[in-house]
Amino acid sequence: MQAADRQRFAAVSMMIDDRLAELIRRRPRTLVLTGAGLSAESGIPTFRDAQTGLWSRYSPAELASPEAFEADPERVLDWYDWRRELIARSRPNAGHTAVKRLLDALPGARLVTQNVDGLHQLAGARDAIELHGNIWRLRCAAPGCRHERYWSDRTAPAPRSCPDCGKILRPGVVWFGESLPAQALASAWQLAEVAEFVIVAGTSGLVHPAAALPFHALEQGARVVEINPDRTALSQAAHWHLACSSGTALPALADLLDAP
Ligand code: APR
Protein backbone atom coordinates (compact mmCIF):
# COMPACT_ATOMS: atom_id res chain seq x y z
CA MET A 1 0.00 0.00 0.00
CA GLN A 2 1.38 3.44 -0.97
CA ALA A 3 2.42 5.80 1.86
CA ALA A 4 -0.43 8.21 1.02
CA ASP A 5 -2.99 5.39 1.10
CA ARG A 6 -1.53 4.18 4.42
CA GLN A 7 -1.93 7.71 5.79
CA ARG A 8 -5.54 7.97 4.58
CA PHE A 9 -6.28 4.52 5.93
CA ALA A 10 -4.80 5.42 9.32
CA ALA A 11 -6.88 8.60 9.40
CA VAL A 12 -10.15 6.81 8.74
CA SER A 13 -9.28 4.05 11.20
CA MET A 14 -9.04 6.81 13.82
CA MET A 15 -12.63 7.83 12.91
CA ILE A 16 -13.88 4.26 13.45
CA ASP A 17 -14.41 4.16 17.22
CA ASP A 18 -14.70 0.98 19.32
CA ARG A 19 -18.52 1.10 19.30
CA LEU A 20 -18.63 1.05 15.50
CA ALA A 21 -15.96 -1.66 15.28
CA GLU A 22 -17.78 -3.81 17.83
CA LEU A 23 -21.12 -3.34 16.06
CA ILE A 24 -19.70 -4.51 12.73
CA ARG A 25 -17.93 -7.48 14.32
CA ARG A 26 -21.32 -8.51 15.75
CA ARG A 27 -22.40 -8.95 12.09
CA PRO A 28 -25.73 -7.10 12.35
CA ARG A 29 -28.47 -7.24 9.71
CA THR A 30 -27.07 -4.58 7.38
CA LEU A 31 -28.44 -2.33 4.65
CA VAL A 32 -25.97 -0.49 2.40
CA LEU A 33 -27.35 2.61 0.64
CA THR A 34 -25.14 4.25 -1.99
CA GLY A 35 -25.15 7.27 -4.26
CA ALA A 36 -23.08 8.86 -7.00
CA GLY A 37 -20.17 9.56 -4.63
CA LEU A 38 -19.34 5.82 -4.75
CA SER A 39 -18.44 6.17 -8.45
CA ALA A 40 -16.61 9.50 -8.13
CA GLU A 41 -13.30 7.65 -7.55
CA SER A 42 -13.98 5.70 -10.74
CA GLY A 43 -13.92 9.00 -12.61
CA ILE A 44 -17.69 9.41 -13.00
CA PRO A 45 -18.84 12.92 -12.04
CA THR A 46 -21.56 13.03 -9.37
CA PHE A 47 -24.85 14.74 -10.11
CA ARG A 48 -23.94 17.81 -8.09
CA ASP A 49 -20.48 18.08 -9.61
CA ALA A 50 -20.31 20.58 -12.40
CA GLN A 51 -20.63 18.79 -15.71
CA THR A 52 -17.54 18.77 -17.87
CA GLY A 53 -16.74 19.34 -21.55
CA LEU A 54 -19.58 19.28 -24.05
CA TRP A 55 -22.18 19.11 -21.29
CA SER A 56 -20.69 21.75 -18.98
CA ARG A 57 -23.48 24.21 -19.80
CA TYR A 58 -26.24 21.82 -18.70
CA SER A 59 -27.17 20.57 -15.25
CA PRO A 60 -28.26 16.91 -15.14
CA ALA A 61 -31.70 18.09 -14.04
CA GLU A 62 -32.04 19.84 -17.42
CA LEU A 63 -31.34 16.58 -19.24
CA ALA A 64 -32.64 13.79 -17.00
CA SER A 65 -36.34 14.65 -17.27
CA PRO A 66 -39.37 13.72 -19.40
CA GLU A 67 -39.70 17.40 -20.40
CA ALA A 68 -36.10 17.51 -21.72
CA PHE A 69 -36.69 14.26 -23.61
CA GLU A 70 -39.95 15.59 -25.06
CA ALA A 71 -38.31 18.87 -26.10
CA ASP A 72 -35.15 17.43 -27.64
CA PRO A 73 -34.87 13.62 -27.51
CA GLU A 74 -31.69 13.49 -29.58
CA ARG A 75 -29.84 15.79 -27.17
CA VAL A 76 -30.94 13.70 -24.17
CA LEU A 77 -29.96 10.44 -25.93
CA ASP A 78 -26.58 11.99 -26.91
CA TRP A 79 -26.01 12.81 -23.23
CA TYR A 80 -26.80 9.22 -22.17
CA ASP A 81 -24.49 7.85 -24.89
CA TRP A 82 -21.75 10.17 -23.54
CA ARG A 83 -22.38 8.90 -19.98
CA ARG A 84 -22.40 5.25 -21.08
CA GLU A 85 -19.10 5.82 -22.93
CA LEU A 86 -17.62 7.37 -19.77
CA ILE A 87 -18.89 4.50 -17.62
CA ALA A 88 -17.64 1.90 -20.13
CA ARG A 89 -14.12 3.35 -19.66
CA SER A 90 -14.47 3.25 -15.86
CA ARG A 91 -13.78 0.39 -13.48
CA PRO A 92 -15.24 -0.30 -10.05
CA ASN A 93 -13.08 1.29 -7.32
CA ALA A 94 -12.07 0.12 -3.82
CA GLY A 95 -15.42 1.35 -2.50
CA HIS A 96 -17.40 -0.92 -4.83
CA THR A 97 -15.14 -3.87 -3.99
CA ALA A 98 -15.53 -3.24 -0.26
CA VAL A 99 -19.34 -3.13 -0.61
CA LYS A 100 -19.19 -6.60 -2.16
CA ARG A 101 -17.00 -7.84 0.71
CA LEU A 102 -19.47 -6.42 3.25
CA LEU A 103 -22.44 -7.97 1.44
CA ASP A 104 -20.71 -11.36 1.38
CA ALA A 105 -19.63 -11.24 5.05
CA LEU A 106 -22.70 -9.76 6.74
CA PRO A 107 -25.63 -12.21 6.91
CA GLY A 108 -28.69 -11.02 5.00
CA ALA A 109 -26.94 -7.78 3.98
CA ARG A 110 -28.51 -6.03 1.01
CA LEU A 111 -27.48 -3.15 -1.27
CA VAL A 112 -29.84 -0.37 -2.33
CA THR A 113 -28.27 2.04 -4.80
CA GLN A 114 -29.33 5.28 -6.47
CA ASN A 115 -26.61 4.73 -9.05
CA VAL A 116 -27.49 3.69 -12.58
CA ASP A 117 -23.93 2.92 -13.78
CA GLY A 118 -23.86 -0.80 -12.94
CA LEU A 119 -20.41 -0.57 -11.28
CA HIS A 120 -21.63 -2.32 -8.12
CA GLN A 121 -22.69 -5.29 -10.25
CA LEU A 122 -19.37 -5.22 -12.13
CA ALA A 123 -17.67 -5.47 -8.69
CA GLY A 124 -19.71 -8.61 -7.99
CA ALA A 125 -22.49 -7.22 -5.78
CA ARG A 126 -25.52 -9.51 -6.17
CA ASP A 127 -29.23 -8.57 -5.97
CA ALA A 128 -28.56 -4.83 -5.90
CA ILE A 129 -31.81 -2.87 -5.69
CA GLU A 130 -31.53 -0.09 -8.28
CA LEU A 131 -33.93 2.61 -7.09
CA HIS A 132 -33.27 4.83 -10.12
CA GLY A 133 -32.93 2.12 -12.77
CA ASN A 134 -29.91 1.28 -14.88
CA ILE A 135 -28.34 3.27 -17.72
CA TRP A 136 -27.61 0.04 -19.63
CA ARG A 137 -31.33 -0.74 -19.86
CA LEU A 138 -33.38 0.69 -22.74
CA ARG A 139 -37.15 0.77 -23.04
CA CYS A 140 -39.64 1.93 -25.63
CA ALA A 141 -41.01 5.43 -24.93
CA ALA A 142 -44.28 4.67 -26.74
CA PRO A 143 -47.21 4.26 -24.33
CA GLY A 144 -48.45 0.68 -24.52
CA CYS A 145 -45.29 -0.80 -26.03
CA ARG A 146 -43.55 -2.97 -23.45
CA HIS A 147 -40.27 -3.46 -25.27
CA GLU A 148 -37.29 -3.36 -22.89
CA ARG A 149 -33.76 -4.57 -23.47
CA TYR A 150 -30.34 -4.57 -21.85
CA TRP A 151 -27.71 -2.82 -24.03
CA SER A 152 -24.45 -4.60 -23.23
CA ASP A 153 -22.34 -3.36 -26.17
CA ARG A 154 -19.87 -1.02 -24.48
CA THR A 155 -18.34 -0.05 -27.83
CA ALA A 156 -21.26 1.48 -29.72
CA PRO A 157 -24.00 4.03 -29.04
CA ALA A 158 -27.30 2.47 -27.99
CA PRO A 159 -29.99 1.91 -30.65
CA ARG A 160 -32.64 4.63 -30.74
CA SER A 161 -35.66 2.96 -32.28
CA CYS A 162 -37.80 0.20 -30.87
CA PRO A 163 -37.48 -3.05 -32.87
CA ASP A 164 -41.11 -3.87 -32.02
CA CYS A 165 -42.92 -0.64 -32.92
CA GLY A 166 -40.28 1.64 -34.42
CA LYS A 167 -40.83 4.38 -31.86
CA ILE A 168 -37.97 5.97 -29.89
CA LEU A 169 -36.10 4.05 -27.16
CA ARG A 170 -35.29 5.84 -23.88
CA PRO A 171 -32.88 4.90 -21.09
CA GLY A 172 -34.36 2.61 -18.40
CA VAL A 173 -33.65 5.15 -15.65
CA VAL A 174 -35.93 7.21 -13.39
CA TRP A 175 -36.04 10.86 -14.48
CA PHE A 176 -36.79 13.84 -12.30
CA GLY A 177 -40.52 13.91 -11.64
CA GLU A 178 -41.02 10.22 -12.45
CA SER A 179 -41.95 7.58 -9.89
CA LEU A 180 -39.48 4.95 -8.77
CA PRO A 181 -40.05 1.29 -9.71
CA ALA A 182 -42.72 0.27 -7.18
CA GLN A 183 -41.18 -3.14 -6.37
CA ALA A 184 -37.69 -1.68 -5.85
CA LEU A 185 -39.00 1.04 -3.55
CA ALA A 186 -41.16 -1.39 -1.54
CA SER A 187 -38.19 -3.75 -1.06
CA ALA A 188 -35.90 -0.88 -0.04
CA TRP A 189 -38.46 0.41 2.46
CA GLN A 190 -38.89 -3.10 3.91
CA LEU A 191 -35.09 -3.50 4.26
CA ALA A 192 -34.88 -0.15 6.06
CA GLU A 193 -37.65 -1.33 8.36
CA VAL A 194 -35.70 -4.38 9.60
CA ALA A 195 -32.08 -3.22 9.33
CA GLU A 196 -30.00 -3.15 12.53
CA PHE A 197 -27.17 -1.27 10.82
CA VAL A 198 -27.21 1.07 7.81
CA ILE A 199 -24.12 2.21 5.88
CA VAL A 200 -24.98 5.31 3.84
CA ALA A 201 -22.19 6.17 1.40
CA GLY A 202 -21.74 8.79 -1.31
CA THR A 203 -25.11 10.45 -1.37
CA SER A 204 -26.12 14.07 -0.82
CA GLY A 205 -29.48 12.86 0.51
CA LEU A 206 -31.23 15.53 -1.53
CA VAL A 207 -33.48 13.29 -3.59
CA HIS A 208 -36.52 11.57 -2.11
CA PRO A 209 -37.77 8.95 -1.49
CA ALA A 210 -34.25 7.43 -1.34
CA ALA A 211 -33.14 10.13 1.11
CA ALA A 212 -35.85 9.08 3.59
CA LEU A 213 -34.61 5.49 3.91
CA PRO A 214 -31.87 6.07 6.54
CA PHE A 215 -34.24 8.19 8.63
CA HIS A 216 -36.84 5.42 8.49
CA ALA A 217 -34.22 2.93 9.69
CA LEU A 218 -33.21 5.31 12.50
CA GLU A 219 -36.83 5.49 13.65
CA GLN A 220 -36.83 1.68 13.91
CA GLY A 221 -33.73 1.80 16.13
CA ALA A 222 -31.03 1.03 13.54
CA ARG A 223 -27.50 2.36 13.97
CA VAL A 224 -26.42 4.48 11.00
CA VAL A 225 -22.96 5.40 9.69
CA GLU A 226 -22.63 8.01 6.96
CA ILE A 227 -19.59 8.11 4.65
CA ASN A 228 -19.22 11.42 2.84
CA PRO A 229 -16.42 14.02 2.74
CA ASP A 230 -19.19 16.64 3.06
CA ARG A 231 -21.92 16.99 5.66
CA THR A 232 -25.54 16.35 4.64
CA ALA A 233 -28.95 16.51 6.29
CA LEU A 234 -28.26 13.00 7.63
CA SER A 235 -24.93 13.87 9.28
CA GLN A 236 -26.54 15.25 12.43
CA ALA A 237 -28.87 12.26 12.89
CA ALA A 238 -26.39 9.48 12.02
CA HIS A 239 -24.49 7.77 14.86
CA TRP A 240 -21.23 8.16 12.95
CA HIS A 241 -20.14 10.46 10.09
CA LEU A 242 -16.89 9.32 8.48
CA ALA A 243 -15.83 12.49 6.68
CA CYS A 244 -13.78 10.82 3.99
CA SER A 245 -14.09 9.11 0.65
CA SER A 246 -15.98 5.84 0.24
CA GLY A 247 -12.91 4.33 -1.46
CA THR A 248 -11.06 4.72 1.86
CA ALA A 249 -13.78 4.23 4.50
CA LEU A 250 -15.57 1.19 3.07
CA PRO A 251 -12.42 -0.98 2.86
CA ALA A 252 -11.58 0.03 6.44
CA LEU A 253 -15.05 -1.13 7.57
CA ALA A 254 -14.75 -4.36 5.56
CA ASP A 255 -11.30 -5.03 7.09
CA LEU A 256 -12.91 -5.07 10.54
CA LEU A 257 -14.63 -8.29 9.48
CA ASP A 258 -11.29 -9.91 8.64
CA ALA A 259 -9.66 -8.86 11.92
CA PRO A 260 -9.59 -11.73 14.51
N1 APR B 1 -16.81 9.29 -1.44
C2 APR B 1 -17.98 9.49 -0.78
N3 APR B 1 -18.84 10.50 -1.08
C4 APR B 1 -18.47 11.33 -2.09
C5 APR B 1 -17.27 11.18 -2.81
C6 APR B 1 -16.43 10.10 -2.45
N7 APR B 1 -15.26 9.90 -3.07
N8 APR B 1 -17.21 12.18 -3.75
C9 APR B 1 -18.34 12.91 -3.61
N10 APR B 1 -19.09 12.40 -2.61
C11 APR B 1 -20.38 12.84 -2.12
C12 APR B 1 -20.68 14.30 -2.33
O13 APR B 1 -20.22 15.05 -1.21
C14 APR B 1 -22.20 14.31 -2.41
O15 APR B 1 -22.76 14.49 -1.11
O16 APR B 1 -21.35 12.16 -2.88
C17 APR B 1 -22.55 12.91 -2.91
C18 APR B 1 -23.09 12.89 -4.33
O19 APR B 1 -24.32 13.56 -4.29
P20 APR B 1 -25.18 13.69 -5.62
O21 APR B 1 -24.32 14.15 -6.74
O22 APR B 1 -26.39 14.49 -5.23
O23 APR B 1 -25.58 12.20 -5.97
P24 APR B 1 -26.74 11.34 -5.31
O25 APR B 1 -26.88 11.64 -3.86
O26 APR B 1 -26.49 9.93 -5.69
O27 APR B 1 -28.02 11.88 -6.10
C28 APR B 1 -29.20 11.20 -5.90
O29 APR B 1 -30.20 12.53 -7.64
O30 APR B 1 -29.73 13.47 -9.64
C31 APR B 1 -30.48 12.47 -9.04
O32 APR B 1 -31.13 10.37 -9.87
C33 APR B 1 -30.02 11.14 -9.54
O34 APR B 1 -29.49 9.13 -8.31
C35 APR B 1 -29.29 10.53 -8.35
C36 APR B 1 -29.97 11.20 -7.18
**Residues 110-119: tens digit of each pLDDT:** 999 999 999 9
The 10 Å Cβ neighbour count of residue 242 is 24
Question: Do both 213 and 124 map to the same domain?
Answer: yes
Distance from Cα 154 to the centre of ligand 1, integer Å: 24
Does the structure show a pLDDT above 80 at 48? Answer: no
The pTM for the full model equals 0.95
Last residue of a domain, one of 173, 188, 223: 173
- Secondary structure E strands in 87-160: 110-113, 129-130, 133-140, 148-150
| Residue 1: predicted pLDDT | 63
The pLDDT tens digits of the residues spanning 55-96 come to 777 888 789 999 999 999 999 999 999 999 999 999 999 999
**Is 34 found in the same domain as 142?**
no
Long-range contacts of 63-71 (CB under 8 A, 24+ apart): 64/173, 64/175, 64/176, 65/175, 65/176, 65/177, 66/175, 66/177, 66/178, 67/177, 69/141, 69/170, 69/175
Asked if 84 and 166 sit in the same domain, the reply is yes
State whether residue 13 is helix, strand or coil. Answer: helix
Q: Name every protein residue with a CB atom under 6 angstroms from any ligand 1 atom.
A: 35-37, 40-41, 46-48, 60, 114, 132, 201-204, 206-207, 227-230, 232, 245-247
- Whether residue 224 contacts residue 218, with contact meaning beta carbons closer than 8 Å, is answered with yes
Least confident of 61-65, 139-143, 156-160, 195-199: 61-65
The residue whose CA is least distant from atom 32 of ligand 1 is 132
- Asked whether 114 and 35 are in contact (CB, 8 A), the reply is yes
Last residue of a domain, one of 173, 196, 227: 173
The CATH number covering residue 145 comes to 3.30.1600.10
Band of residue 11 on the pLDDT scale cut at 50, 70, 90: confident
Looking at the structure, tell me whether residues 166 and 237 fall in a common domain.
Answer: no
Provide the angle, in degrees to the nearest 10, between the axes of the packed helices 18-25 and 246-258: 60
CA-nearest residue, atom 7 of ligand 1: 245
Average pLDDT over residues 142-167: 93
Q: How far is the centre of ligand 1, averaged over its atoms, from the C-alpha of 150 (Å)?
A: 25
**251 and 122 in one domain?**
yes
pLDDT at res. 68? 95
Reply yes or no on whether 132 is catalytic.
Answer: yes
State whether residue 29 is helix, strand or coil.
coil
Domain carrying residue 80: 48-89+138-173
Q: Is the pLDDT of residue 50 over 80?
A: no
Q: Do 198 and 232 share a domain, yes or no?
A: yes
Whether 217 and 100 share a structural domain: yes
Same domain, 200 and 235: yes
CB count in 10 Å sphere of residue 151: 18
What domain count does the chain have? 2
Domain co-membership, 75 together with 106? no
pLDDT score recorded for residue 30: 98
Q: Are residues 214 and 95 in the same domain?
A: yes
Render pLDDT for 187-239 as a digit per residue (tens, 0 to 9). 999 999 999 999 999 999 999 999 999 999 999 999 999 999 999 999 999 99
Q: Are residues 37 and 160 in the same domain?
A: no
Does one domain contain both 128 and 155?
no
CATH of the domain at 18: 3.40.50.1220
Q: From the candidates 96, 120, 132, 241, give the one annotated as an active-site residue.
A: 132
